[in-house]
Structure 1
Amino acid sequence: AYLMSAPPNVGSIFNGSAHPSTGRPFVCMRGSREFHTHPSHLAERWDGFRGKPGMDLLGILEQLWRGWKRAVG
């Protein structure tokens, strides 16, 4: 099962629009595949962020969690 629509008030991390590659809502945040493959972020390559503080798996998951909690309570 895939997310077909984003909850209301999802904030800036969770984009309710269709990603050009998947046609589904997506995570628009540095470190996510959808961010780095979106036409508006192609210049922001993952290599430029890898290894920086907060950009490891735990840091990305924490950002997602905080964004979700802000968006849905």
Structure 2
Amino acid sequence: MYMLDHCPYQVETIGDAYMIVSGLPERNGTRHVKEICGVALNILTSVLTFTIPHQPHRQLAIRIGIPPKYIRKVTWI
């Protein structure tokens, strides 16, 4: 799982919200956006492929938010 490989730091869990950051507690240079987006895509992929055993016809719903003010430049590699 991307999240376990790249270790964004869990800041807080509020109800059903799971807040993570990149670059804490250890700095990681300028890789914050890449790491957070990687985690978000991994979670989204997991949710889309997950089957609810007792309701296989239903799909899980997820909300992912990344504040755009922190994304200054996106470079696709």
TM-score bucket (shorter structure): 0.3 to 0.5
Structure (1/2) with the larger strand percentage: 2
Larger radius of gyration: 2
The TM-score normalised by the length of structure 1 is 0.33
